[in-house]
Structure 1
Amino acid sequence: MKTPSNWLNKILNLLLVLPLLLLSGLGVYWLWQSGYEQAFLILFAAFYAFVVVLKTLLKKKTTHTPDYPTVTANEEWPPEATEIWARINALAEKLNPADYPLTDSQRLIELAKKVTLEVAGYYSSNQDKTGLDVPLRNILFITEKVSRDMRCLLDDKIPFSHLLTVNNGLQIWKWKARLESGHFLFRMGSLLFSPVSSLPRELKQFFIGKAAAYPIGSFERWLLQTLVKTIAYYAIELYGGQSVPLRITETAQEPELTDSTLSKQPLRVLIAGQLKSGKSSLVNALSAKLIAPVDVLPLTGALTPYKLNHDHLGEMLIYDSPGYDYENAWYESESDQNLGGFDLILVVCAANQAAREADVKFMTALRAWFDQHLKRRFPPVLAVVTHIDQLRPIREWDPPYDIHSPQNAKAQAIREALDYISSTLDIPANDCIPINLKPKYEYNIDAIWSALVEIQPAIHRAHHLRRLTEGKQREKWALIRKQLEHAGRFAVDQIKKS
């Protein structure tokens, strides 16, 4: 029920508008009495035509797109996924909503199949029969993931999406165009009857209101692009070996392979370096207790793992490796121990040793291995520079040393040694850590742990891909074994029934 105060407010509002209406009427009456109405209409039409043409030209050059969420690549993907993701993005940008109407389910299915085959063909070794390399279970897996993500995206980002159908959405855009046309007529009438107040409003809407004008069809285009990228995302995860769709839980011998179980696997750290560079001493220093043998002669004849635990990094397996030289290197032998089995590499370099050919050979072999295995990510590499106390002046040892702004000869010598190792091994200078492992004179060991914590995300990305690659093969054979067991039971049951 309307109260007297509401009526009073309406009357007051009307009184406020009356002067503007009166001024507009007097303006039109004056133009008519003075005989200027024809000239004014011509001037008004020319001005508004100029504004409309200018606005149309600007709209063609700068089309604003709504700030819709976008699908991006997974940071944990290996390098091989970069090319196919770029292809899919190029495909998505060229999509025309008119070619794939959101109301035509058949066309959308064809688009989904096209994207899936594109990804499958990229990873397939049989390019001539790509269509046969898309198993039904893969399609079901991708469909399940895409449907869930698209539903959640619409629920979270698009108002009233849970109430509207696709047809409703298209009708809204049509009505939006009609309402804009009606509003145009209203503005024309306002300019005729009240040019003084209407012209500033029109100019403001032209120069400022453009930012709020979304092009019709942008929503459909965004939906199509999001659909394509989401399908490609899970297809890359599946065919690139990044996802874990299989679940083996029935046998105790084969644990379930999931992201959580993968993350529980200990990190693998390789300590590599030349003979007598201080590798075993580094293992002892990192563990804060004597766990690796140290002697005047190299004692480590093969990769020797030591288990450590760190508050931030968790469980780690530190692999002490045999010292290498330019002629003999353990990683060149034919064995199960290869350069791809680690998540972090610590290259121990003695600062008082100028020869770096063996270290360069090791880094070259390491990079070559990962260049040939693009499903894996190159692990972080730190250069641990030992024996810095042996740099000139040899008798001086008064840490700490400011190597960023050297103030004395010792600090300058350490800085030069780090720069030389950095440039020779192509390792960033910030990833070269000077330490001293001499008993009772230990220095800067904590800097290694600080560096590891800082690059922890990169370490875990390398660890994730390594565990996926190793676990996929075990899980594949476990699934085949389970399927054969079920088939055998079914055959036996059928024989018994007969």
Structure 2
Amino acid sequence: MAETISIRDGIFNDWHTLWDIFREVVEKVAADFHPEQDEPVLEIRMPELLKVIELLARDLRYSLSENIPGSHILTVNDVLRGKRLAAHGKAIYQLYRIISIGVDPISAAIRELRGLAAEKVWDASLKEVERWLLAAYVKKIGYYAIELYSGHLVLEDQQFLEHITQASRRDLAELRKQAARVQEEPLRILVLGQVKAGKSSLINVLFGETKALVDVVPLTSRVHPYLLERDGIKKAIILDTAGYDDPNNPHRPWREAEQEILHTDLIMLVCSALTAARASDRHMLQDLQQLFSDQHRESPPPVIVVLTHIDRLRPIREWSPPYNIQQPENPKARMILDAMTAVAEDLNVSLEHVIPVSLKADHEYNIEEGLIPALLQTLDETRRLQYLRCLRDYKTEEYWQQLWTQSKNAGRIIVQFGTRWLQKE
């Protein structure tokens, strides 16, 4: 319709014609969307009608401001005054044309011919502009009419943009519940190591008090949990396990801890710098890899190797920390670095994850300065594992909860159906 509508002179000064075009477009659109109604044009809600008027007025304001020079300066009175001046100016110009013919006929004739040609070009251009304006007028009316009668018109744009569907609200609630669960869930740190490697002493140093009994005889026969809260670590559960010493079967003492390992976010492997035999530690790490593979889990949690008893490395009588192990300047520092390098190579771990410490009573070293920062460096990875662990646990609970809900719903349906059947009888 916008392309086929005819243009006649003065159409934009004829408000009746423009209104007829407006009504024709609206009636056609209304009939397409409500063909079953006798008065399809009336199938409109008043708030939506006012919204269309608001949108049309807004578009007119934008078009006027962007396309009419000086529209932001001129007042309505200026426009009316300009129309009156234009009318007087046209009469004065006609008088000038008549007088100029008598004074200089040749120049007047040339001017009239030029003006006639320019007027024809102007008229042709004006026709194209009028055709474009009328087509735009019809298209704009049609667009808003379609929005109006199709039911797609949005009354409050901001509310629409902020609207969240019921399904999305339900999903967001579930995600918030999971996120809150992860935030409340403490990190789970598993402590492993050979017999007499210093696991219990390490736990006591971490807590600053006696938590695990220290003895020459290994006392940890099962997993012992301890709750740790300190700077940088909001909440963590330290899981102490039994020590192992059989290089041919290192996993036997902590076989019962497999479920704890599968629910662990970080592993601290305690190794003594005085022990060169690392076969049991190496077998233990390999066994961890196999355990996670058998359970179809991702790779095991990050491993921090805590290298203990460095104060008893040669030269034994020398102990004056701190030591610069990156650029060792004395025999003790070089021995510590050599022990770290040997452990990293034997266990195939990064040298950065081997932290040398001294757990000697009242002479603890590199706990606050080295071990705690190393633990914090792994938080990104451990938090990811923690989230996955919580998600798996949450999904398990969700499965049984959903099954229970479905069973209850099925029971209600049966009861309601039976009640209706009895009532019919």
What corresponds to 1:360 in structure 2?
282
Residues 331, 488 of structure 1: alpha-carbon distance in 2 compared, 3 angstrom cutoff: farther
Residues 370, 314 of structure 1: alpha-carbon distance in 2 compared, 3 angstrom cutoff: same
What corresponds to 1:473 in structure 2?
396
The reply to whether residue 280 of structure 1 matches residue 234 of structure 2 is no
The reply to whether residue 350 of structure 1 matches residue 272 of structure 2 is yes
Aligned partners of 1:375 and 1:465 also within 8 Å: no
The equivalences for 1:42-441 within 5 A come to: 258-325=178-245, 326=247, 327-330=249-252, 333=255, 337-441=259-363
Question: In 2, Cα distance between the equivalents of 1:376 and 1:328?
Answer: 22
Residues 397, 335 of structure 1: alpha-carbon distance in 2 compared, 3 angstrom cutoff: closer
Amino acid across the alignment from 1:381: V
Question: In 2, Cα distance between the equivalents of 1:460 and 1:364?
Answer: 23
- Alignment length, in residue pairs? 253
Aligned partners of 1:300 and 1:321 also within 8 Å: yes
Structure 2 gap segments, 5+ residues each? 1-67, 71-160, 162-169
Residues 482, 269 of structure 1: alpha-carbon distance in 2 compared, 3 angstrom cutoff: same
Amino acid across the alignment from 1:306: Y
The C-alpha deviation readout for 1:258-297, integer Å capped at 9, x for no partner, is: 2221332111100100000000111111111111111221
Aligned partners of 1:273 and 1:323 also within 8 Å: yes
Residues 429, 491 of structure 1: alpha-carbon distance in 2 compared, 3 angstrom cutoff: same
Aligned partners of 2:222 and 2:254 also within 8 Å: no
Residues 425, 245 of structure 1: alpha-carbon distance in 2 compared, 3 angstrom cutoff: farther
Residues 332, 308 of structure 1: alpha-carbon distance in 2 compared, 3 angstrom cutoff: closer
What corresponds to 1:449 in structure 2?
372
What corresponds to 1:58 in structure 2?
none
Aligned partners of 2:243 and 2:253 also within 8 Å: no
Q: Provide the alpha-carbon RMSD of the alignment.
A: 2.5
The C-alpha deviation readout for 1:114-145, integer Å capped at 9, x for no partner, is: xxxxxxxxxxxxxxxxxxxxxxxxxxxxxxxx
Question: In 2, Cα distance between the equivalents of 1:335 and 1:451?
Answer: 25
Aligned partners of 1:271 and 1:345 also within 8 Å: yes
Report the Cα offset of residue 436 of structure 1.
0.3
The C-alpha deviation readout for 1:145-196, integer Å capped at 9, x for no partner, is: xxxxxxxxxx9xxxxxxxxxxxxxxxxxxxxxxxxxxxxxxxxxxxxxxxxx
Question: In 2, Cα distance between the equivalents of 1:323 and 1:399?
Answer: 29
The C-alpha deviation readout for 1:410-453, integer Å capped at 9, x for no partner, is: 11110000000001111100110000001011101111111111
Task: Percent identity, please.
Answer: 37
SS in 2 for 1:337: helix
What corresponds to 1:484 in structure 2?
407
Structure 1 gap segments, 5+ residues each? 4-154, 156-243, 250-255
Amino acid across the alignment from 2:221: G
Aligned partners of 1:257 and 1:471 also within 8 Å: no
Aligned partners of 1:403 and 1:411 also within 8 Å: yes
Residues 278, 320 of structure 1: alpha-carbon distance in 2 compared, 3 angstrom cutoff: same
Question: In 2, Cα distance between the equivalents of 1:376 and 1:331?
Answer: 24
The C-alpha deviation readout for 1:279-335, integer Å capped at 9, x for no partner, is: 011111111111111122111110100001134332110001100122353466366
Amino acid across the alignment from 2:381: A
Residues 431, 248 of structure 1: alpha-carbon distance in 2 compared, 3 angstrom cutoff: closer
Report the Cα offset of residue 374 of structure 1.
4.6
TM-score (ref. length: structure 2)? 0.56
Report the Cα offset of residue 497 of structure 1.
2.8
Residues 395, 247 of structure 1: alpha-carbon distance in 2 compared, 3 angstrom cutoff: same
Residues 410, 425 of structure 1: alpha-carbon distance in 2 compared, 3 angstrom cutoff: same
Amino acid across the alignment from 2:329: Q
Question: In 1, Cα distance between the equivalents of 2:204 and 2:400?
Answer: 40
Amino acid across the alignment from 2:184: K
Computing the radius of gyration from Cα coordinates, the structure with the larger value is 2
Aligned partners of 2:221 and 2:253 also within 8 Å: no
Aligned partners of 1:349 and 1:383 also within 8 Å: yes
What corresponds to 1:197 in structure 2?
none
SS in 1 for 2:209: coil
Question: In 2, Cα distance between the equivalents of 1:245 and 1:427?
Answer: 40
Question: In 2, Cα distance between the equivalents of 1:248 and 1:488?
Answer: 26
Residues 248, 414 of structure 1: alpha-carbon distance in 2 compared, 3 angstrom cutoff: closer
Aligned partners of 2:250 and 2:283 also within 8 Å: no
Residues 433, 248 of structure 1: alpha-carbon distance in 2 compared, 3 angstrom cutoff: closer
Aligned partners of 1:377 and 1:462 also within 8 Å: no
The reply to whether residue 493 of structure 1 matches residue 416 of structure 2 is yes
Aligned partners of 1:268 and 1:317 also within 8 Å: yes
Report the Cα offset of residue 475 of structure 1.
1.4
Structure number with greater CO (CA < 8 Å, separation at least 6) is 1
